[in-house]
Amino acid sequence: MREYLLTLCITAAVTYLLTGPVRKFAIVAGAMPEIRARDVHREPTPRLGGIAMFFGLCAGLLVADHLTNLSEVFENSNEPRALLSGAALIWLIGVLDDKFEIDALIKLGGQMIAAGVMVMQGLTILWLPIPGVGNVALTQWQSTLLTVALVVITINAVNFVDGLDGLAAGMVCIASAAFFMYAYRIWYSYGIEAAAPATLFAAILMGMCLGFLPHNMHPARIFMGDSGSMLIGLVLAAGAISVTGQIDPDAMNLFSGSERETVHQTVPVYIPLLLPLTIIAIPAADLVLAIVRRTWRGQSPFAADRGHLHHRLLEIGHSHSRAVLIMYFWSALIAFGALAYSVNSASMWIVLGVVALSFVGLVLLLLPRFTPRAPRWAEAFVPPRYRRRRPEEAVAVAPAASSAAYGAAADSAESADQRTPVAVGVSGVNGATALGARSRLLDRGKAQTSR
C-alpha cells in the first residue's frame, strides 16, 4: 500500500506543478477558444491541461518501475507499456484538437486506433464471466471488437461530461478510487497477481485527477480539454479491461466448489467492472441521452449542445458549485454502492443505505435554491456563503450598504456638476419642460373634477 500511495503522490505532485507552466504555454500558443453558445464560463480560459496530466502519468509509471514490489508488474506483464502507447496516441490527438479543433470523425478514428494499439500489445479482454454459464472464451475478433468498443465508449462518456469546472476530474477520481479498492482487494485478499496492473492504473489515475483539480475547480484557471478528458477516459477503461477480462473467476473459488456457481456468486463483483459505464453511470447516461436527443433532432451525434445533465442542473436553479457537488454525490453513490455490494451481496443494510442516500440525492435535486448552513464550530472551514450571519454583523452590513449608496449618489452628483454648461443648460430646459407638462395635466384633472 505504501508504494501505491507514493506513486499516487508523485503523480499528483508532477501534475499539480506542471499545470501552471502548461497554462502559460496554452495562453502563448493561443489555445484559448472563444466562448461558444454551449459554454458555461464567461471568460476565455486556456485548455491543454491534458499535457500536465500526461506527464503525471509518465512520472507515475516511471516511479512504479523503480519500486521493489511494483516493478514486478512491468516484469510480468506488458500492460503498462500498452497503456503508455495508447495514452500517448490519444493524448497527441487531444492536443491537436485543443489547438486546431479537428473533426469529430477524425477523433473517433484516433480513439479506435489507440484502443487497437493496446489490444495488439496484450491489453484485451480474453473471456467473460457469464452468470449461470461460467467463463466464455472470446475469439480474437470478438475480443478486439469488445475491447475497442469499451475503450471508445468510456472515452466519450468522460469527454461528454467535461462541461463544468472540476466535474470530469472529480467524477473520474471518485470512480478510480472505488476501482482501486476493488482491484487491491482482488490482489491482496485473493492473492491474484493479475489484478496488479489494474491496481497501479487506478492509483495513477487518482493522482492525475487530484493533481489537476486545484487548478480546475470553479472558477477554473485552466481546462483539461480533450487532451485530458480522453486521456483519463482511456486510463479508466484500460484498468477495467485489465482486471475484468483476464482474471479467472475459478481463482476466486471461495464461495462454492464449481466454477459456474462461483461466477454466479461473484456477479456483483464482475458486472460493475465488466462495463465501466456502470461505475461511471452518470457520464454514461449523459452520453446515451445526448446521442438519442441529437439523433431525434436530425443532428450528428457528435454535434455539441446545451442539453447535458449538468446544463439541466443549472437551468433548474442550481449554482455551478452545487451542480458539480450533486454530480459527485451520485457518482460516489453508484460507484461505492456497487463496491460495497460486491463485498457482501447478502447484506440488506447495503441496499437500504443506497436507497436512503438516493432519497437524499432526490431531495437535493428538488431544492435548487436551498442554502445549507454549517454549524458554528465548522464555520472556519467552509466558504463564507455557508456561514450563519450574526445579529451584530447584520446591523453592521446595513450602515455599510447605506453609506455605499450615499457615496455612489454623491459621486454621480459630483460628476453631474462637472458636465459642460451646454449639457447643464439642455438638461435644465428639459427638466423645466417636463415640470410644466405635468402641472398642465394636473390642472386639467382638477377642472374635469369640478365640472
Which residues make up each annotated binding site for Mg(2+)? 159, 226
Instruction: Give me the torsion for CA of 341, 343, 349, 350, rounded to 10°.
Output: -30
Handedness of CA 255, 261, 263, 269 (dihedral sign): negative
DSSP, res 102:
-
Cell of 7: 506513486
CA torsion 335-336-337-343 (nearest 10°) is: 120
* Contact between residue 200 and residue 73 where contact means Cβ atoms under 8 Å apart: yes
Which residue in 172, 16, 31, 155 sits closest to 101, CA to CA?
Answer: 31
Which of 177, 29, 24 has the alpha carbon at shortest distance from 96?
29
State the Cα angle at 13 between 7 and 18, rounded to 5°. Answer: 130
Beta bridge partners of 137: 127
DSSP result, 68-111: TTTHHHHHH-SHHHHHHHHHHHHHHHHHHHHHH---HHHHHHHH
| Three cell numbers written together for 404 | 455605499
Binding site listing:
159, 226
Contact between 174 and 335 under an 8 Å Cβ cutoff? The reply is: yes
Q: Is 135 helix (H, G, I), strand (E, B) or coil?
A: strand
